[in-house]
């Protein structure tokens, strides 16, 4: 495990760069200065973080644009009716794959309601002896009842207790609770030990190549398996490797078949079983 840890550290140094950050949805939240605005931007960005990166980033920025320079103040300062009218008109023609403008409006209104209660972080916090996954499931089930049952909103509400990897929720929680680069570290009460890696097709594929997981399906069990393996490499901050693992695939640097000379510079080359 020491050798793999060294290889992962080398990979992290390779991809923990501003250039790679510019192709990640967290860059949208980082464009705001106020922590409250970053939370709103992250809440929306994470829910839309799927598909090709460049058009996805454009879609997120266009969806946030009608909220102005201070999204949190915009949402807090107006009634739900006024927000529906203003954003409904501005986002009438907006589309991003499974989502339409009305889905964005409902997702932002969900933030407004949760913020007006005990705050968004509180909605994710475990109660008593329950696990973080039970807390996330509780929130998901609540939102499934409160929000319209459109395809886009249902797509935004996977449940970890139903076996889903919950990639976008896991990514949002990493952004909000983890304090290391490039994450926001805005939440101080959420249990950092409960963070689970957000598994997408890139992370799943590369994790199998380097034996971080033996599972074929990128589901919740795979996410837990990969997180457990990374925790053995760094018990205090296992998700610090997530950004590099995902961008190895996002940037197209991993061809999926181990071959020379293209793969030779990769820090994971010696551990990789790609294409076998």
Q: 14-59: per-residue pLDDT in tens?
A: 999 999 999 999 999 999 999 999 999 999 999 999 999 999 999 9
Confidence bin at 258 (pLDDT 50/70/90):
confident
Query: What's the mean pLDDT in 50-73?
Result: 97
Cβ atoms within 10 Å of 18's Cβ, excluding its own: 8
Q: Which of 190, 213, 247 is the last residue of a domain?
A: 190
Question: Is 201 found in the same domain as 175?
Answer: no
Place of tokens 């199998």: 208
Q: How far is CA 48 from CA 44, 249, 253, in A?
A: 7, 19, 24
Of 190, 223, 244, the residue that ends a domain is: 190
Query: 231: burial class by Cβ within 10 Å (0-12, 13-18, 19+)?
Result: middle
pLDDT at residue 276 in the model: 58
Same-domain check for residues 125 and 105: yes
- 2 pLDDT band, cuts 50/70/90, is confident
Range of the domain at 270: 1-23+196-276
Provide the 10 A C-beta neighbour count for residue 202. Answer: 18
Cβ density class 234-273: b for 16+ within 10 Å, e for less: eeeebbbbbbbbbbbbbeeebeeebeeeebeebbbeeebe
Q: Across residues 259-273, what is the average pLDDT?
A: 90
Per-residue pLDDT tens for 80-100? 999 999 999 999 999 999 999
Does pLDDT of 260 surpass 90? no
Has residue 259 got a pLDDT over 90? no
Residues 6+ apart with CB under 8 A from 159: 136, 137, 140, 141, 166
**CA 191 to CA 197: how far, in whole Å?**
14
Answer yes or no: do 61 and 141 share one domain. Answer: yes
pLDDT per residue as tens digits for the range 141-178 = 999 999 999 999 999 999 999 999 999 999 999 999 99
Q: What percent of the chain has pLDDT over 90?
A: 95
Residue 187: pLDDT over 90? yes
pLDDT in tens, 201-246: 999 999 999 999 999 999 999 999 999 999 999 999 999 999 999 9
**Does 55 lie in the same domain as 2?**
no
* Tens digits of residue pLDDT in 102-129: 999 999 999 999 999 999 999 999 999 9
Whether 50 and 88 map to the same domain: the answer is: yes
pLDDT at position 275 is 65
- Pair (170, 262) in one structural domain: no
Q: Which of 151, 174, 190 is the last residue of a domain?
A: 190
What is the CATH classification number for the domain harbouring 209? Answer: 1.10.1670.10
100: which strand partners?
95
- Residue 176: its pLDDT value, please? 98
Asked if residue 152 and residue 76 are part of one domain, the reply reads yes
Output b/e per residue, 158-188; b: 16+ Cβ within 10 A: bbbeeebbbbbbbbbbbbbbbeeebbbebbe
The count of structural domains within the chain is 2
Residues in Cβ contact with 19 at an 8 Å cutoff, skipping those fewer than 6 apart: none
Residues 102 and 217 in one domain: no
pLDDT at 196: 98
pTM, to two decimals: 0.96
């Amino acid at each position: 495990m020491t050798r793999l840890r060294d290889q992962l550290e080398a990979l992290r140094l390779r991809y923990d760069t501003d250039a790679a950050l510019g192709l990640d949805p967290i860059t949208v939240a980082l464009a705001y200065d106020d922590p409250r605005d970053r939370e709103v931007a992250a809440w929306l960005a994470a829910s839309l973080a799927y598909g090709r990166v460049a058009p996805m980033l454009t879609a997120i920025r266009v969806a946030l644009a009608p909220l102005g320079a201070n999204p949190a103040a915009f949402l807090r300062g107006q009634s739900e009716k006024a927000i529906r009218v203003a954003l409904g008109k501005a986002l009438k023609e907006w589309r991003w794959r499974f989502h339409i403008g009305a889905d964005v409006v409902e997702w932002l209104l969900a933030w407004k309601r949760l913020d007006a209660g005990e705050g968004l972080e509180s909605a994710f916090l475990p109660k008593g002896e329950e696990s973080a996954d039970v807390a996330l499931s509780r929130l998901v089930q609540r939102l499934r009842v409160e929000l319209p049952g459109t395809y886009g909103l249902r797509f935004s509400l996977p449940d970890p207790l139903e076996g889903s990897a919950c990639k976008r929720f896991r990514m949002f929680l990493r952004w909000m609770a983890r304090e290391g680069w490039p994450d926001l570290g805005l939440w101080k009460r959420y249990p950092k030990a409960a963070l689970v890696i957000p598994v997408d097709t890139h992370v799943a594929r590369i994790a199998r190549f380097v034996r971080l997981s033996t599972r074929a399906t990128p589901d919740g069990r795979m996410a837990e398996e990969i997180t457990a393996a990374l925790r053995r490499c760094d018990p205090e901050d296992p998700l610090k490797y997530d950004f590099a693992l995902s961008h190895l695939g996002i940037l197209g640097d991993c061809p999926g078949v181990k071959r020379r000379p293209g793969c030779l510079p990769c820090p994971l080359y010696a551990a990789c079983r790609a294409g076998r």
